[in-house]
Structures are given as C-alpha cells and as structure tokens.
Structure 1
Amino acid sequence: MSTNMSRTPKKQKKKDAPIFAVRQRSEGPIQDGARSESPHSRDHEAAPADSSPASRADIKGLQAFITAELERTTRTLSAEIQAVGERTAHLEEQAGRLVEYCNDLAGHAETMEHRVQWLEESLEDLSNRSRRNNVRLRGLPESVSPEELQDTFLGIVKRLIPDVPPQRLLLDRVHRALGPRRDKTTTPRDVIARFHYYNTKDLLLKAARTQEAKYEGSTILFFQDLAPSTLARRREWREVTELLRRNDIRYAWGFPFKIIVFKNNRSQAYSYLYQAKDLLRAVDLPIPPSLADLTPPQPLPRLAQDWLTPGD
C-alpha cells in the first residue's frame, strides 16, 4: 500500500550578518568635496571585500586604535590648553602692571595739577603785588598825546585830592595800555600810572569812589591795576556780586584771589567759583540755576583689576 507522505521542508541555516562591512572604493573622482581618504581607508578599500563577521581580535584592534587616537588627541588638546593658559596668565600679568602704571600716572597728574595751580596763583599774586602802586584811568580821550599824559593826569588827580602836597604826587611813570591807537568812535585805551607813594594811590582811589571826575566832558574812572588773570576770575563772580549788591551785602576782594563777604559782624572768604553756593547759603540768598550745577574738581578715575588669579 502506497502511502502519500508529505515532505517536510528542511530548515534553512540562518547566516549571521557581518558587523563591519568593508566600504567599496567609489569609481571616479570625488565630486562632493569630501576630504581624501586616510591611508587606512585606502588599505581597507584595496583589500578584497569580505562579508564574514568581525572577529574578537578585529574588535580589540579597533578599540586599541580608538584608544590611541583619543589619547593622542587628549595630549594635543592638553598642550594647547596649557599654552593658552600660559599666554592668558602672561597677558593678565601685563594688564595688571598697566593698571598699576595708569593709576600711578593719575596720581602724579593730580599732584602736578595741584602744583601748577599753586604756581599760577603764586605768580598771579606776585603780579598783583608788583602793581600795588599802579592805578588805571579809564575814559581819557586819545587826543591827549603821550607828552601831555603826565600833566593831564596830575591835573585830574589834584582836583580829587587837593590836600595832598605836590611832593607826595610823585609819579614813576604814566603811559597808555598796550594796543593800537583807537578812533573817536571807540573807547579810548586806559592810562596806567604808577605812584611812587602807595598812600597817595590809596587816597586817590578812595576819593574816586565818592567824587566824579571829568575831562572835556568825558567821565573819568579810576581802578586798581590788576593782573589779567585776576580780572578774568572776578568776571566769573559777576553774577554773585550782582546778587550781593542788590541785597546790600558788603563784600571785598582779597589777595591772593578771594572774595570776602561780611554779614552779622562776621566775614567769610571764598576763592573758587564752585564755592559760590556755599557763599550764597551763608548769606541766606537763593542759588541761581546757572550756579546750581557747579561742583569741585573731581579726582581722575582709577582703573580696577577685574580678574582674579586661581586660588584668589
């Protein structure tokens, strides 16, 4: 008896897929701009294709290669980091020295500024002391010739202080202020006269405050001869002095340069314009807006070291 027996198919043996497949060399030149292959890749490409799985030895060899590459890269990076650190430390050290030098220069500049200011004030005081016997006459027409200046000047002085004996009216010199001759439409140049006796000059200025002097219809004014720098500093105080005069507050000019204010039988002296606010507060006067922002000179800025060295 024939029996139909079914044929059972044999199980096909499953093949292991390779872990690493060798990349085949591409035909023709590289068109994508990629880097050229390393010698290792060329060696692999030159080898024949093998679809067999990687062995344990292959894996260990690859691990050793990767470990060596990592160590080499680490050593390279460590060397570069150390070099950058050394350069950074050197630059910070240089910057620290520059900060110290800059701050030292700022200190020297402030010292020199104080010394120059002291020297300028001393020279100004010396100039004013050398002019103590001088008086300025303003308003005398230019028509008066240099030869007539002394006689004309003495004639005006005698009308103001007639009681002074002639021997006390001795003049060392009389001349016009420097500058070109002016026409009749402009203010004539001042006349500067130096009295031999200081007391005579002082009497003349006191008399000129209460009496009016004229010459051919022109009003003659007398002033103390002062250094140009002193006149410029007095002009800076003009707004303050106008306030004092409007409020009937007495003041006087001192030497070296200062303004002295009298109130309630007390006097206070101020030398610099930024002190105007203190002066007005002392005499109970309002501070004008133009003087509200005045501040004393500020010191030169100093640089700070904004970085810290390791361990600080």
Structure 2
Amino acid sequence: MVKTGKDKLKDTHHTPKKHKNQHEVDRFFNKKHSTLSFAGSNPSAYEEDTEMSEDGDSDRESSTAQTTTYEDSDACHISRAFLKKCLAQALSPVLKELSDIKMDVKHIGNRVDELENVHAALLSHSTVTQQAVVSQQEHLNAAFLQLEDQEKRNRRKNIRLRGIPESVTPEALKAAAVSIFTDLLGVERASQVVIERIHRALRPKPAPGEPPRNVVCGLLSFVDTAALLQKARDSQGIYYDKCITTNVKSCFSKMSQQARRILKPLTDILRDRHIPYRWLYPFGLSVMINGKPLMVRQPADLQKIWTVLQVNPLDIPSWLPVHLPTSFPELPPSDGWSLQTKVKSPRRTPT
C-alpha cells in the first residue's frame, strides 16, 4: 500500500528510515511553514520565500522557469504604437472638450470686446450730451436775462404806490398820485412830473381786511422816477390824506422780484454788517467788502461771498430761469482697458 503525500506528512516523525533527499524535503517544508506563518500580514514575503526555494531546485526546473518567464514577457510586451493608440483614444474626448472650451472663451472674448466698445461709445456720448446740456443751459439763462433786462428797461420809468385804499376810484388815482408826488418833491417840482398812465395792479380785488392792490404809475421821464425814489428813501414816512402811510417802490419784473426774494437772506446779513451793495442789470448783485467788489451773477458765485464773510453757507436755491433739479451723475473712467492678448507658453527644451 502506497501512502499519499498527506499520509507522508502525518507519519514523517514515525518513519525511522529517511530518504536520501530527506534534508531537501525538510528544508522545503520548513520554509513553507515559515512562509505561511506570516503570509497573512505580508503577502509579498511569501512570494520572495517561494522564489528563494525555487532557486534551490535542479537545473531542469530553472530552465523551465526561465522559459516560462520569457513566454510571459512576450505576452505582456507593449509597443509604442499601442501606447500612442491608447493615449489617443483616452485623450480624444478631453481634447474635444478643450477645443469647445477654447471656442467658447474666444466667443466670450469677442463679446467682451464689443461690450467695451459699446460702453466706451455710451460714455463718450453721455459726456458730450452732458456738456451740450450745460452749454445750452448757460445760453438759455443768458437769453432769459437779456429778455428780463429788456422788460426792466420798459419798467424803469414806472413806480408803484402801496397803501392807497381800494375806496379810491380809478378816476381819482391820478389826483392821489399827484398829492403824494407834491409831498415828496414840492409843488414846483411835482408840477413838472408827467404821468402817462396809472392803474391798479392786474390781480383780483382783495377781500375786505386784506392789503389794497398797488397802483402802477407810468411816468414820461426816468429822471422824475429816480428823483421820486431818492426822496422816498430819504423821507421818514409818506402819508396820503394825512393819515394813510404809503410806499414808493420801483417796478420790477416778476423774475427780478423772485430773485430778490431768494437772495433776501444774503441781503439781510449785508444790512446787519452795514456792507453796501447794489443790484445789477441784467440781474445780479454787487457787494463791496473791504474795498473789493464782488459780483453775484450765478449761484456758484455765492461761495466767494460766504468765504469773505466767514459765515456758514446758506441753502439758497437757484434763481436762474433754467436750472437742472439735480447735478449730473459722475461717469466712470473709460481709460485703462487693455486689449486682448495671446499668452504664449514658454518653450520647452528637451531633457
């Protein structure tokens, strides 16, 4: 009865007779046992020990192993053409995506260039429009001031009488005016004053208890008007019918009255400090401060007055007929844009 390999392994220590190659068998099993003891923790060690055991075999086994190794290397041989083909297949979708991305970036760059050009054109157009509007505003204001000056020249010979009761009829207005002129200039000088027309101010009749309407007198000569105004400023009071106080004022246009009303806070400060000033034609204000004349024609000229007077600037609106409600917004700068450039990668030198 022939025992199998397993029976031999079991009965090895019971067999007193040893084979002539028993030392090689013992060495094989010893290495096999030591390899299996730590193969679970380091599988590569098992392979190394196996190779070392195989190196101790016969030449025939060595030649057979070499033949097998040569056959395996031939089966796993990878050519350069095969690598190129695999890389080309793997990189083909990536290159396609990169090409699409490149086209998208180029398209976005073109759109950005167009947007920058349109933005620059809009900024240029807005700047030109703003300058044109400011220039037109200045020209319109100059034209309105000239028209206002012509209207004031037509009114320069007129005077306004305030305080004449509404009970005085239109036919008696001329006699009332002559009585006031006589009180101011005297009988002889008042007799030389020629009244061309006289009437009430063109507005509805006031209700009882309200101030009466002004009486407008159109004189023939401006000299008479200037004399009456000078006497009215120097007199302590003007009376009509010996009990009613009246005032003699210049006849201004509506625009001049509104502008003077707007500049009243400034004129009040000048009066309090006893600083002389006078009105200009076309409309303006001339102020003499420390022997230096300052003229106010536009709202921007007020800053000089506040600086010289050393007072906090007052909130005085514009009195010009044409003015913008708000200033133009500040436009962003259009310079500093760079053109699209192509960035070249550095040249690679072979290693």
Please tell me the TM-score bracket, short chain as reference: 0.7 to 0.9
Q: Any idea what the Cα deviations from partners look like across 1:57-115, whole Å, max 9, x if unmatched?
A: 98765433222222222222222221121122111111111111111111111111111
Name the CA distance, whole Å, in 2 between partners of 1:273 and 1:199: 33
Q: 1:189 to 1:74 in 2, by over 3 A?
A: same
TM-score under structure 2 normalisation? 0.65
Matched, 1:79 2:109: no
Choose between structure 1 and 2 for higher RCO, CA contacts under 8 A separated by at least 6 residues.
1
Q: 1:265 to 1:308 in 2, by over 3 A?
A: closer
Query: 1:134 Cα shift?
Result: 0.7
Structure 2 residue aligned with 1:260: 286
Name the CA distance, whole Å, in 2 between partners of 1:142 and 1:218: 12
SS of aligned partner of 2:207: coil
How many residue pairs match? The answer is 264
State which of 205, 208, 213 in structure 1 corresponds to 2:238.
Answer: 213
Structure 2 residue aligned with 1:233: 259
**Identity over aligned pairs, percent:** 22
Q: 1:189 to 1:75 in 2, by over 3 A?
A: same
Query: 1:161 Cα shift?
Result: 1.3
Contact 2:276/2:287 (8 A) holds in 1: yes
SS of aligned partner of 1:290: coil
Whichever of the two has the greater Rg, that structure is 2
Structure 2 residue aligned with 1:29: none
Q: Any idea what the Cα deviations from partners look like across 1:102-137, whole Å, max 9, x if unmatched?
A: 111111111111111211221221111111101011
Q: 1:109 to 1:274 in 2, by over 3 A?
A: closer
Matched, 1:94 2:123: no
TM-score under structure 1 normalisation? 0.72
SS of aligned partner of 2:217: strand
Q: Any idea what the Cα deviations from partners look like across 1:200-254, whole Å, max 9, x if unmatched?
A: 1111111112232222422110111011211222222222222222233322222
Name the CA distance, whole Å, in 2 between partners of 1:243 and 1:134: 29
Structure 2 residue aligned with 1:151: 175
Query: 1:145 Cα shift?
Result: 1.8
SS of aligned partner of 1:194: strand
Structure 2 residue aligned with 1:30: none
Matched, 1:224 2:250: yes
In the alignment, structure 1 segments of 5+ residues that lack a partner are 12-52
Name the CA distance, whole Å, in 2 between partners of 1:247 and 1:87: 65
Q: 1:76 to 1:270 in 2, by over 3 A?
A: closer
SS of aligned partner of 2:340: coil
Amino acid at match of 1:161: L
Amino acid at match of 1:261: V
In the alignment, structure 2 segments of 5+ residues that lack a partner are 10-24, 33-74, 319-323, 342-351
Q: 1:66 to 1:215 in 2, by over 3 A?
A: same
Q: Any idea what the Cα deviations from partners look like across 1:241-291, whole Å, max 9, x if unmatched?
A: 222222333222221222233466664433345544533655xx4414636
State which of 281, 289, 301 in structure 1 corresponds to 2:330.
Answer: 301
Contact 2:238/2:245 (8 A) holds in 1: yes
Structure 2 residue aligned with 1:63: 87
